[in-house]
Structure 1
Amino acid sequence: VLGTGLRWFESVPLLFVATFLAGGAIAIGNVLLPGLVKRDFADRAAVMTGLYTMALCAGSAAAAGFTLPIEHLVTGSWSGALAAWAVPTLVVLLIWIPQALGSRQQVSHQGFRVVGLWRDRLAWQVTLFMGLQSALAYCIFGWLAPILRERGFDAATAGAMVSVSVMAQVITCLAVPSFAMRLKDQRGINVALVATAVIALLGILFAPTSTVLFWAVLQGIGQGGLIAAAMSLIVLRSPDSHVAAHLSGMAQGVGYVLAAFGPLLVGLIRGWTGSFSASALLFVALGLGAAIMGFGAGHALHVGARTVRADDR
């Protein structure tokens, strides 16, 4: 709430402080949620994973779609429009306060540590799958609109297609966890979702412009499914909530650092070649890596890490 609210002030130093506060809070929340699902909703993990990944996608779509109208209709400034998102964040805080107070009755995670996680092959497959699919997602979030502009669409149409693509993600974010957790393993669905996302992205780049809306929707379906599948694997591959929290930190911490290079490389390729077409090679490479890691992470196994008491050797 504080980090988002500080964006009201048109000060560059405060903007950096606000971004650090908001980004840090989001990162911590993202890491803790899979462990919370594993601990408190083990018998409803599919539904809860689907709901919170859907909320992630829906929140991104809402922010992308409504910030500009908020600026024009309510605040009259870009800083005010950004700060306005502190209001729903405050609502969430008020909802969570009773949950936090009630958690005093639950078993604490203090006094435990997780060993063997960073040396486990399966944990690294989950981490790299998270990172590579996130790299594709970041490329879409950062470059889909410019790609569409380069293909001849005006700014309004390109923005609308991006919004439609992101909204399509919401559907599969909710549906994929329930479906994936009912399967014997998740190897097939991981590879299928990667193929869908990458093929659709190639369609956006090279297919006739009359079909681009179809490819944008299909890409959203594949990409949203990948986000949900990656989050689901954290829960599925963890034997308990302690390991889930640590695996979540590993997968998202390392994975998102890796993912940050995706849009950077797209920008560099665009600068070197003068076109987004050559980025297709990068998208195929990311997809191939994600498919390989997703196939490995999809095996119905638990990571080799285990939870021990802090005083155990």
Structure 2
Amino acid sequence: SLIAGAGIAIANVLMPAFVKREFSEHPSGILGVYTAALNVGAAAAAGLTVPIGTALALAWRPALAFWVVLAGLGFALWLPILLRSRRLRAARPELSDADQELAAAEDIRGLVLMRSPVARQVTGYLALQSFQFYSYAAWLPTLLGDEGIDANTAGYMLMLSNLTGAAGALVLPVFIKRLRTQRPPVVAVTSFYAVSLLGLLVAPSAGAWVWVCIYGVAQGTGFSLALTLMVLRSPDTAVAARLSGVAQLIGYLVAATGPVLLGVIHDLTGGWEWPIVVLIVLLGPMLWAGLGAGRDILLGDHTDLPGVASTARSTFRA
């Protein structure tokens, strides 16, 4: 589990920088496909592992190991890209010198990155969006179980939420490319979260399938939007990588407290009303951070970032 988690973390951090370098003209589409693949993969693993194990007469460990096939396929798809990059560096040795200069500039950027209001807003949006997702996903089956919905049905609902999340991630780029800023999608994502949470608060069992589907759209679209904001707010690939690393480090540390906090509140109050209210209240600062991060602006624009050396200032503008 630790190794798998490390792989997910590395991929999530590097993907915005890779997209910034290779697909800077249409990053939202690529990141939408990436997020959709994550959701479909999660849904497939959740819904098919047990049937695969049953069909092949496998215990749960070999059934889980079946998914290494997809990991091998992913490695095979990335291998040509890695080889192409190495050939390019061998043919153009001057790139190595440029990389060294860029690394020196990155060290300086790393010290001042979070002085930028835009960087803090991108980080805040990712953190609160992830807080919503992990809190909701961790406790949704238990909440539904307390409402009389059996465990199998609750599991299918969670799988359905991942599939609707994939659909949301694929639809998002269609709207982003028509907009000058990303503020409208931020408002839409927040609205989807609000409708889902209010539905669970008022009618948790009667409309459970509807609330779960709306939640899926919110989380799939929201995560894809958070990654897209990292790319669009960064002036170059190096800043995209640095912002992605810092934002996801802080974001997931904040998100990790969500399931624990909601569990404590549930134990103290004896119900799910107050945990849901907490999630609804946190939509306010998430919306504020998202509206700031969704402006048509690059990191460093209209912001004084003192102490930046000239080598860094040339690409990370203050």
Tell me if both proteins adopt one fold, taking TM over 0.5 as the criterion: yes
Compared with structure 1, are the counterparts of its residues 307 and 85 closer, same or farther at alpha carbon in structure 2 (3 Å cutoff)?
A: farther
Write the letter of the residue equivalent to 1:110.
D
Write the letter of the residue equivalent to 2:59.
S
Q: Deviations over 1:102-128 (max 9, x none)?
A: 112165673113323121111011001
Q: Which residue in the other structure is 1:55 paired with?
A: 37
Q: Which residue in the other structure is 1:102 paired with?
A: 84
Q: Are residue 166 (structure 1) and residue 155 (structure 2) matched?
A: no
Compared with structure 1, are the counterparts of its residues 20 and 161 closer, same or farther at alpha carbon in structure 2 (3 Å cutoff)?
A: closer
- The whole-number CA distance in structure 1 between the counterparts of 2:66 and 2:282 is 36
- The whole-number CA distance in structure 2 between the counterparts of 1:307 and 1:285 is 41
Query: Do the aligned residues in 1 keep the contact of 2:144 with 2:204 (CA within 8 Å)?
Result: no
- The whole-number CA distance in structure 2 between the counterparts of 1:25 and 1:273 is 37
Aligned counterpart in structure 1 of residue 62 of structure 2, from 71, 80, 88: 80
Compared with structure 1, are the counterparts of its residues 75 and 295 closer, same or farther at alpha carbon in structure 2 (3 Å cutoff)?
A: farther
Aligned residues: 293
Query: Do the aligned residues in 2 keep the contact of 1:134 with 1:256 (CA within 8 Å)?
Result: yes
Q: TM-score of the superposition, structure 1-length normalised?
A: 0.87
Write the letter of the residue equivalent to 1:142.
A
Give the CA deviation at 1:194: 1.1
Specify the SS of the correspondent of 1:205: helix
Give the CA deviation at 1:181: 3.8
- The whole-number CA distance in structure 2 between the counterparts of 1:73 and 1:141 is 28
Q: Which residue in the other structure is 2:92 paired with?
A: none
Write the letter of the residue equivalent to 1:237.
R
Q: Which residue in the other structure is 1:189 paired with?
A: 185
Give the CA deviation at 1:286: 2.2
Matches within 5 A, 1:267-286: 267-286=263-282
Structure 2: gaps spanning 5 or more residues: 90-94
Identity of aligned residues (%): 39
Q: TM-score of the superposition, structure 2-length normalised?
A: 0.86
Query: Do the aligned residues in 2 keep the contact of 1:147 with 1:205 (CA within 8 Å)?
Result: no
Aligned counterpart in structure 1 of residue 7 of structure 2, from 25, 36, 46: 25
**RMSD of Structure 2 on Structure 1 (CA):** 2.1
Give the CA deviation at 1:309: 5.4
- The whole-number CA distance in structure 1 between the counterparts of 2:159 and 2:76 is 29
Give the CA deviation at 1:209: 2.8
Query: Do the aligned residues in 2 keep the contact of 1:31 with 1:249 (CA within 8 Å)?
Result: yes
Q: Which residue in the other structure is 2:124 paired with?
A: 128
- The whole-number CA distance in structure 2 between the counterparts of 1:25 and 1:309 is 32
Specify the SS of the correspondent of 1:278: helix
Compared with structure 1, are the counterparts of its residues 127 and 208 closer, same or farther at alpha carbon in structure 2 (3 Å cutoff)?
A: closer
- The whole-number CA distance in structure 1 between the counterparts of 2:57 and 2:251 is 36
Compared with structure 1, are the counterparts of its residues 103 and 153 closer, same or farther at alpha carbon in structure 2 (3 Å cutoff)?
A: same
Post-superposition, which runs of at least 4 consecutive aligned residues in structure 1 deviate over 6 A?
A: 305-308
Give the CA deviation at 1:308: 7.2
Specify the SS of the correspondent of 1:210: coil
